[in-house]
Amino acid sequence: MAVISPNSYAGKIAGVTNPHLPFNDPDLTGQGIMVEIVRAAFESQGYELDRQFMPRAWDISGAKRDCN
């Protein structure tokens, strides 16, 4: 799951996701291929990606909270 907020301050996009090997993980080079692709797409449009990793339990608890 990935959450990207365009309401970040000018020129910077905030993104939150959970680690998912081998696609994205804070310990991978460039934080993984998925992060590299998303970062390149935003940078080509003049935005900086601020990526944060949260545990999977955070995704599940957020989904449950939003569905109630």
pLDDT tens digits for 8-34? 456 888 888 888 888 889 899 989 999
Question: Between these two residues, 47 and 62, which has the higher pLDDT value?
Answer: 47
Q: Residue 25 in contact with residue 32, Cβ under 8 Å?
A: yes
Residue 62 domain-assigned? no
User: Which tokens belong to 42?
Assistant: 């935003």
> What domain range includes position 19?
2-56
In a domain, 26, yes or no: yes
Higher pLDDT, 40 or 18: 40
Query: Is 68 domain-assigned?
Result: no
Cα 33 versus chain centre, distance: 12
Q: Is residue 43 part of a domain?
A: yes
The reply to whether 16 falls in a domain is yes
Distance from C-alpha of 1 to C-alpha of 63, rounded to nearest angstrom: 10
Q: Is residue 65 part of a domain?
A: no
pTM of the model: 0.65
Give a yes or no: residue 8 inside a domain: yes
CA gap 19, 30 in Å, rounded: 13
Q: How many domains does the chain have?
A: 1
Residue 64 lies in a domain: no
